[in-house]
Structure 1
Amino acid sequence: MSKKIIDLGTLSRKVLLFGGVYSNLQALETLKSIAEKHGIPSENCICTGDIVGYCAQPEETVQLFKIWGAQSIAGNVEIQLREGAEDCGCDFREGSRCDGFSQLWYPYAQSKLSKNSLEVMSHLPDHIQFTYAGKKVTVVHGSYFNVSEFIFKSTPWQVKVPNFEATDSDVIIGGHCGLPFATEQDDKLWLNPGVIGMPANDGNTEVWYAILDDSDGVFHYKHHTFAYNHKLTSELMHNGVLPEEYARTILTGIWDNTEILPPFESGLQGFGVKL
């Protein structure tokens, strides 16, 4: 199947990057306010996908995203929802805790989304490309080859290289894994801004995003965190349907399990993010 790729041309001034909204309306509201405070226009705000996910307000989140006018690619969750699939397509190991939890939150999200929200998802591209400070940038969810592939900081560089080659890119903006990181080699950069819908397993309730800056004509990036009304997010998740463990993660900043994590990232649980 051919990919749908949108080329935004050349972008300039600050660009806000984020991923994994996961139906967390309160986090999205706060991030939108941050973008407005910094004077970053909606067309320069780019999401790596999974607007919908674990939290309690999928419909409200998609509609706010639509009103904001930010850019996004399709994450595996959007692809599965718009196709009416029976599972989230997250590539969780069958029978794992994450797989069991997805059998709760995914049908919940399906039941809450309007036809209009599904229509919004149907127009999301597989990838976004643009040029920034002379560098070609491609936005992927998991990888260019597999939307559900987990790529981490510790993932060997040789696994990342084909993504640069296939897209003829200098920079890959990735998502899906839930953790912020940056790795650079051979004048190439893989940048994951992190997600805003869930903490980064670092024992902190704040969530992650990144900003690109070309104010001096050079490609710069920086990770940032922000606080939001996480207590309300968690409270709304106690609805008798969604996993209580995810509601607890919102409050503790610690994931219920580290099943998807490689040893390096698993060992950092609760010790903060090492950028």
Structure 2
Amino acid sequence: MDKTINNIGTLSGKVLLFGGVYSNLQALEALKAIAEQQNIAPENCICTGDVVGYCAQPEETVQLLKIWNAKSILGNVEIQLTEGEADCGCDFIEGSRCDGFSKLWYPYAQSKLSKNSIAYLATFPDHIYFNYANKKVTVVHGDYFNVSEFIFKSTDWNIKAKTIDATKSDVIVAGHCGLPFNHEQDNKLWLNPGVIGMPANDGSPQVWYAILEEINGEMKFTHHTLDYNYKLTNSLMKNGLLPEEYARTIVTGIWDNTEILPAIESGLQGFGINL
């Protein structure tokens, strides 16, 4: 299937970048409030996909994003939901703990979403392209070639460069892996703003997003943590239908397992993130 790329033109002012809302309505409400406090227009608020996921309020989360009118690309979860597939397409190892957990949260989300929400998710493009401070920026989920590809800070630059070259970009904004990071090389940037639906395995219930700003004609980026009502999110997830381990992560900031992580990122579990 051909990829859909939404060229949204040249952006100015602050740009809010986030990903992995994962059905976490409380986190999305908090982030929307940040955008409004900082006068960041909805068209400058961009999600790297996976609006739906592990938490308890998929329908409410999708509808709030729609009301906000922020932009999003397709994550693997959106693709699977809109195509009526039976699994999340996260590319977890079969039989792994993440794979087992997905057999709980994915059908739960599927059962809660209205036809209206599914139709809205189907409007998302595969990628978003824009110009900012004389930089060409492309938003992908995993990478350009595979929506479910896990790309981390430790991932070899040559792998990242393939997406940069294929999209003719100066900056790639990506999601999927759940961890915020930036990696600059050869005057190019790979920027993952992190996700707001789950903590970043750093031992804190706070979640992560990023902001682009143009300062003296140059693009600058900053990583930020987000405080939200994680205790309510945790409570709502204890419904007997969702993995209790994910509800626990909401509070502890520690992932149940590090199956998807390379050795470097796995070894940083619980040590905090300094960006």
Q: TM-score range by the shorter chain?
A: over 0.9
How far is 1:217 from its partner? 1.4
Matches of 1:98 and 1:216, distance apart in 2: 45
Gaps of 5+ in 2: none
The residue aligned with 2:245 is 245
How far is 1:274 from its partner? 4.4
Secondary structure of the residue aligned to 1:27 is helix
How far is 1:107 from its partner? 0.1
How far is 1:273 from its partner? 1.6
The residue aligned with 1:159 is 159
- Give 1:207-226 correspondences, 5 Å limit: 207-226=207-226
- Give 1:88-237 correspondences, 5 Å limit: 88-237=88-237
| Per-residue CA distance 1:171-205 (angstroms, 9 max, x = gap) | 00000000000000000000000000000000001
The residue aligned with 1:272 is 272
Matches of 2:60 and 2:121, distance apart in 1: 14
Q: What's the TM-score, normalizing by structure 2?
A: 0.99
How far is 1:264 from its partner? 0.3
Change (3 A) 1:228 1:250: same
The residue aligned with 1:53 is 53
Secondary structure of the residue aligned to 1:219 is strand
Matches of 1:274 and 1:127, distance apart in 2: 28
Matches of 1:55 and 1:97, distance apart in 2: 17
- Counterpart residue identity of residue 184, structure 2: E
Q: Provide the aligned length of Structure 1 versus Structure 2.
A: 275
| Per-residue CA distance 1:70-118 (angstroms, 9 max, x = gap) | 0000000000000000000000000000000000000000000000000
Matches of 1:53 and 1:226, distance apart in 2: 18
| Per-residue CA distance 1:155-176 (angstroms, 9 max, x = gap) | 0001111101100000000000
Matches of 2:232 and 2:215, distance apart in 1: 37
- Counterpart residue identity of residue 78, structure 1: E
Matches of 2:226 and 2:100, distance apart in 1: 30
Secondary structure of the residue aligned to 2:257 is coil
Percent identity between the two aligned chains: 74
Matches of 1:73 and 1:82, distance apart in 2: 13
Kept in 2: contact 1:44–1:70 (CA 8 A):
yes
How far is 1:226 from its partner? 1.3
Matches of 1:237 and 1:226, distance apart in 2: 20
- Give 1:10-89 correspondences, 5 Å limit: 10-89=10-89
Secondary structure of the residue aligned to 2:179 is coil
Secondary structure of the residue aligned to 2:108 is helix
Matches of 1:165 and 1:215, distance apart in 2: 26
Q: What's the TM-score, normalizing by structure 1?
A: 0.99
Does 1:9 pair with 2:12?
no
Matches of 1:215 and 1:63, distance apart in 2: 34
Kept in 2: contact 1:13–1:215 (CA 8 A):
no
Secondary structure of the residue aligned to 2:136 is strand
Matches of 1:61 and 1:219, distance apart in 2: 31
Matches of 1:156 and 1:272, distance apart in 2: 23
| Per-residue CA distance 1:113-154 (angstroms, 9 max, x = gap) | 000000001100000000000000000000000000000000
